[in-house]
Amino acid sequence: MNGAGRRASSGPSIQKVPTKPRAAAFRRASGAVFVARARAMGINNSRPRGDAALIDGKAIAAAIREEIKAEVDALKKAHDGRAPGLAVVIVGARKDSQTYVRMKRKACEEVGIVSFHKELPETATEEEVLDVVRGFNADDACHGILVQLPLPKHMNEERVLAEISLEKDVDGFHPENIGKLAMKGHEPLFVPCTPKGCIELLKRSGVELAGKNAVVVGRSNIVGMPAALLLMKADCTVTVVHSKTKDPRRICREADVVVAACGSAEMVKRDWIKPGAVIIDVGTNGVDDPTKKAGYRLVGDVDFENVKKVASQITPVPGGVGPMTICMLLSNTLESGKRAFAA
């Protein structure tokens, strides 16, 4: 989750699955029309003529936020106005971290989740940060804790993250949560937000995963590895490509579903993709672009313009996986709140 706030969110103007007006887009994103159309497209080789359908993460995330808001409202009604709470801890004044934290707080506010905020100066000691985490661990009004990364260099991130109580680990990075994700017969309390968002995009786009070949490009703890575990749980046959993999193109060409999370701008090319495959592009890379005010633009790990010509469905960057990540943080916080209220 922590790598995620950086994503902005408007998609390129190719053929979109959900279209305006917004209400219709929400209905399609969460309902039968969306699924039926995507299903009709399938992930087989019989792709309709023309470009891939766009998996519109913005519209799907908006639909999920509506669902979360409805659940939060219902919880509040049933529990004397108490709502799930998310604590965000930020250390130092990095502009990007401040922006992500602002986005997370705003997202909480929109769905009725209470957000707690603790800001510490760059000069804070590790012990001070640990004390803040311990305070939120003990606070019954707080159901999720997120420490915004990166922490200042003089701190041990692993130690700080390990201090977060397992029941409030809404980022899902605790080794016990990851371990349970990997084990048959076990369920983690939380699933890491970005990979959870990838699976949600696939499901809500009507992609049937059981029996499909999935390739995940990247094996990081926060994206690639948990994405591969989730796809395996969904009965895909999963191959993981990493920096030492020989001939990734050949391996990717076998895939019905590709999840690209290698942090290398537009590395996955058109000739890596089997016609009709579904592409989830997690990558967010800034590339120089003097035509943009900021001097750069964001691209994914997939060569979108060319890959969309062979894929059946594809996420854009921005506007694909990015909007889902914060949404899944809200979803994890809601789950945690529900568990706490039911206890």
Strand pairing partners for 296?
288
Q: Which is nearer to ligand NDP, 6 or 76 (CB)?
A: 6
Q: Which is nearer to ligand NDP, 276 or 283 (CB)?
A: 283
Interface stretch with ligand NDP, choices 19-27, 48-56, 122-130, 281-289 (CB under 6 A): 281-289
Q: Which is nearer to ligand NDP, 2 or 124 (CB)?
A: 2
Residue 210 contacts residue 235 (beta carbons within 8 Å): yes
List 171, 256, 281, 301, catalytic entry: 171
Tell me the per-residue interface mask from 200 to 239 with ligand NDP, x by CB under 6 A, - otherwise.
-----------------xxxx-xxx---------------
Is residue 171 part of the annotated active site? The answer reads yes
Query: CB under 8 Å to 33, separation ≥6 — which residues?
Result: 27
Is residue 56 part of the annotated active site? The answer reads no
Told to check if 263 binds ligand NDP by CB under 6 A, we report yes
CA atoms within 13 A on the CB side of 279: 36
- DSSP per position, 22-90: HHHHHHHHHSHHHHHHHHHH-SSS-PPSSSPEE--HHHHHHHHHHHHHHHHHHHHHHTTT---EEEEEE
Among 137, 237, 285, 306, which residue sits at the site for ligand NDP (rule: CB under 6 A)?
Answer: 285
Interface stretch with ligand NDP, choices 207-215, 260-268, 270-278, 303-311 (CB under 6 A): 260-268
Burial class (CB in 10 A: 0-12, 13-18, 19+), 120: middle
Interface stretch with ligand NDP, choices 86-94, 103-111, 134-142, 319-327 (CB under 6 A): 319-327
Told to check if 322 binds ligand NDP by CB under 6 A, we report yes
- Please name which of 124, 121, 122, 120 lies closest in space to residue 87, comparing C-alpha atoms: 120
C-alpha distances (whole Å) from 119 to each of 4, 78, 97, 326 are 19, 32, 11, 20
**How big is the site for ligand NDP, counted in residues (CB under 6 A)?**
30
Residue 284 contacts residue 7 (beta carbons within 8 Å): yes
Structure tokens at 32: 């039968």
Q: Which is nearer to ligand NDP, 100 or 136 (CB)?
A: 100
List 16, 58, 148, 303, catalytic entry: 148
Is residue 274 part of the annotated active site? The answer reads no
Catalytic residues: 104, 148, 171
Residues that bind ligand NDP (CB under 6 A): 3-4, 7, 194, 217-220, 222-224, 241-245, 248, 261-264, 267, 282-285, 301, 321-322, 325
